[in-house]
Structure 1
Amino acid sequence: MLLVLDTATPACTAALLDEDGTLVWHFHEVMNRGHAERLMPLLDAMLDGRRATSVLVGCGPGSFTGLRVGIAAAHGLALGWGASLSGMSTLALLAASVPGDDPVGVALTGGHGELFVQQFSRAPFAAMGPVASLVPAEAARKIDAQTVAGSGAAALVAARGAGEALDILPDAAAALRLPQALRTLAPKPIYARAPDAKPKAA
Structure 2
Amino acid sequence: PLIASLPGKGKADRILVSRGPGSFTGVRIGIAAARALAFAWGAEISGYPTLALVAAQSPQSDPAAPVTVCMHGGHGEWFVQNFGADMLPEGEVRSLSPEAARDACRHDAIAGNRANELAAMFGADSGKTSVDLLPDARHAMLLRPDHLSSETSALYGRAPDARPQP
TM > 0.5: yes
Q: TM-score range by the shorter chain?
A: 0.7 to 0.9
Of Structure 1 and Structure 2, which has the larger fraction of its residues in strand?
1
Question: 1:76 corresponds to which letter in structure 2?
Answer: A
Identity of aligned residues (%): 44
Pair 1:115 & 2:75 matched: no
Partners of 1:73 and 1:183 lie apart in 2 by 18
Deviation at 1:157, TM superposition (A): 1.5
Partners of 2:28 and 2:157 lie apart in 1 by 14
Partners of 1:47 and 1:169 lie apart in 2 by 27
Pair 1:166 & 2:150 matched: no
**Pick aligned residue for 1:131 from 93, 106, 122:** 93
- Please give the residue correspondences for 1:52-201 in structure 2 after superposition, counting only pairs within 5 Å: 52-99=12-59, 100=62, 101-122=64-85, 124-161=86-123, 162=126, 163-199=128-164, 201=165
Deviation at 1:98, TM superposition (A): 1.0
Partners of 1:115 and 1:47 lie apart in 2 by 39
Deviation at 1:197, TM superposition (A): 3.0
How many residues get paired?
Answer: 160
Question: For the structure 1 residues 60 and 49, does the alpha-carbon distance in structure 2 shift closer, same or farther, using more than 3 Å as the test?
Answer: same
Deviation at 1:128, TM superposition (A): 1.4
Deviation at 1:177, TM superposition (A): 1.5
Question: 2:97 corresponds to which letter in structure 1?
Answer: V
Partners of 1:107 and 1:155 lie apart in 2 by 9
Deviation at 1:127, TM superposition (A): 0.8
- Please give the residue correspondences for 1:22-61 in structure 2 after superposition, counting only pairs within 5 Å: 41-46=1-6, 49-61=9-21
Deviation at 1:47, TM superposition (A): 5.1
Any idea what the Cα deviations from partners look like across 1:156-198, whole Å, max 9, x if unmatched? 2122333222111011122121111101251110011122233
Q: Normalized against structure 1, the TM-score is what? A: 0.73
Question: For the structure 1 residues 128 and 46, does the alpha-carbon distance in structure 2 shift closer, same or farther, using more than 3 Å as the test?
Answer: farther
**Structure 1 residue runs of 4 or more that deviate by more than 3 Å after TM superposition:** 41-48
Q: Normalized against structure 2, the TM-score is what? A: 0.88
SS at match of 1:160: coil
Any idea what the Cα deviations from partners look like across 1:54-87, whole Å, max 9, x if unmatched? 1110001111011011101000000000111110
Partners of 1:87 and 1:197 lie apart in 2 by 25
Partners of 2:152 and 2:102 lie apart in 1 by 30
RMSD over aligned Cα atoms: 1.7
